[in-house]
Homo-oligomer: A and B are copies of this chain.
Amino acid sequence: MTSKSNLSVVLAERPKEGITLGQTFKQKTSQAPTADDLKDGQILVETLYVSLDPAMRGWLKDTRSYLPPVQIGEVMRSAAIVRVLASKSSLAKPGDILHGLPGWQEYAILPEGRFDPPFPIPEDCRITDLLGVLGSTGLTAYFGLLRIGEPKKGDTVVVSGAAGATGSVVGQIAKIMGARVIGIAGDDSKCRWLKEELDFDVALNYKDPDFKTKFKDATPDYIDVFYDNVGGEILDMALARAKTFARFVMCGAISQYNSANPQGPKNYLNIIAQRVKMQGFIVFDYAKEYAEARKQLAQWPAEGQLKRKETIIKGGLPMCEQALVDLFKGANTGKMLVEVKNPEEASKL
């Protein structure tokens, strides 16, 4: 097997605030690994789609977190859908398409633990759902909402970043659980999608000048569950409207990740007065239960209860940097992906 070139995108410098195009990351071309490089338990993969997630901004910070920071010069960490080209693992065989962590590069060798064993893509699902409802996105929505939010029939559930990958799944699961669901998003077309296609009870555009009043009017019985992807002022408003014993699911804070001085929730005294439980989580904490959750997450789309949109960026790895910047501007509806190689295209290795 002759070696090929392997395009990757590596971290060039840590951003102080927002990501700077051409500065934060740089492209690098090296020699692709081959089947000859495989050790026992490893697989050689080619990347089909990489996932763009708000959490990636956190991985660029040199602080204690749930994962070590990406190092300068290191390939940017990223979840991806990959195709197995060669395997010395009993968990996957050539041709398998699966979810793994190759980072932003065309080819990678992955040891067990850095890829999920393949499973049949359920009817009514598609390959890209491996990064959506069947992947971290869906699992994050599922475990955060059900284990921390614990919505009950009739509860008022508010989701920020509601038209995003995770938020849109959260709201739909909350509807399935019988809750009244209010989604907050950043433009009117997203709000229409939430209301008209995903059946949210209320969808509010936080850029609307009357947003505060509308938010208050939409929560006459206060908020039982707040699923936060955004942080900042929306979190503060939700705290002001927290019902007694409300559950605040702390999933993300996209409004704060680019800030050198994140804004703390000044209404946090309501955590005491209203006995709020505010709890953070990382989807990995539930890894042992993924298989069980995926069964449920595959069934809802089949029943027409879980719809989704994708924002797929063509142009391969050179587009990742721009896509990540755009993600923070809210350019996506639903899951944002960069297509590195169309799965219909035969492998050229």
Closest CB-CB distance, A284 to chain B, in whole Å? 10
The answer to whether A250 and B262 touch across the interface, beta carbons within 8 angstroms, is no
B-side contacts of A250, CB under 8 Å: 268, 271-272
A274 contacts which of B66, B244, B269, B275 (Cβ < 8 Å)? B66
Chain A residues 237 to 289 lying within 8 A of chain B, measured CB to CB, are 244, 250-253, 256, 261-282, 285
Contact between B263 and A266 (Cβ–Cβ < 8 Å)? yes
**Closest chain B residue to A58, Cβ basis:** B273
The reply to whether B272 and A253 contact each other, CB–CB distance below 8 Å, is yes
Chain B: CB-nearest residue to A261: B266
Interface assignment of A31: CB less than 8 Å from any CB of chain B: no
Cβ of A272 and Cβ of B263 under 8 Å apart? no
A193 to chain B, nearest CB (A): 26
| A201 at interface, CB cutoff 8 A | no
CB nearest to A281 among chain B residues: B275
Inter-chain CA distance A308–B266, complex, in Å, is 34
A150 within 8 A of B: no
For the complex, count residues of A whose C-beta is within 8 A of B. 35
Report yes or no: A269 in contact with B281, Cβ–Cβ below 8 A. no
Question: In this assembly, does A310 line the interface, its C-beta being within 8 Å of a C-beta of chain B?
Answer: no
CB-based contact A269/B253 at 8 Å: yes
Would you call A236 an interface residue if the criterion is a C-beta within 8 Å of the partner chain's C-beta atoms? yes
| Minimum C-beta distance from A246 to chain B (A) | 10
CB-based contact B269/A256 at 8 Å: yes
Give chain A interface residues in 17-41, CB to chain B under 8 Å. Answer: none
A 137-165 binary contact with B (CB < 8 Å = 1; else 0): 00000000000000000000000000000
Residue A65 interfacial (CB < 8 Å):
yes
Contact status A280-B285, CB under 8 Å: no
Tell me, in angstroms, the Cα distance from A281 to B278 when the chains sit together. Answer: 12
Chain B residues near A64 (CB, 8 Å)? 273
CB < 8 Å neighbour of A279 from B231, B264, B276: B276
Q: Which residues of B are found within 8 Å of A285, using beta-carbon distances? A: 275
Chain B: minimal CB distance from A252 (Å) = 7
Tell me if B264 and A267 are in contact (CB < 8 A). Answer: yes
B236 lies within 8 A of A264 (CB): yes
Task: Check A279 against B275 for contact (C-beta < 8 Å).
Answer: yes
The 7 A-B pairs with the shortest beta carbon distances in the complex, nearest first, are A264-B264, A272-B280, A264-B266, A271-B280, A264-B265, A65-B273, A278-B278
Q: What would be 23 A-B contacts, judged by CB atoms less than 8 Å apart?
A: A58-B269, A58-B273, A64-B273, A65-B273, A66-B244, A66-B275, A231-B269, A252-B272, A262-B266, A262-B269, A264-B268, A265-B268, A272-B281, A272-B282, A273-B282, A274-B280, A275-B280, A275-B281, A275-B285, A276-B279, A276-B280, A277-B278, A279-B279
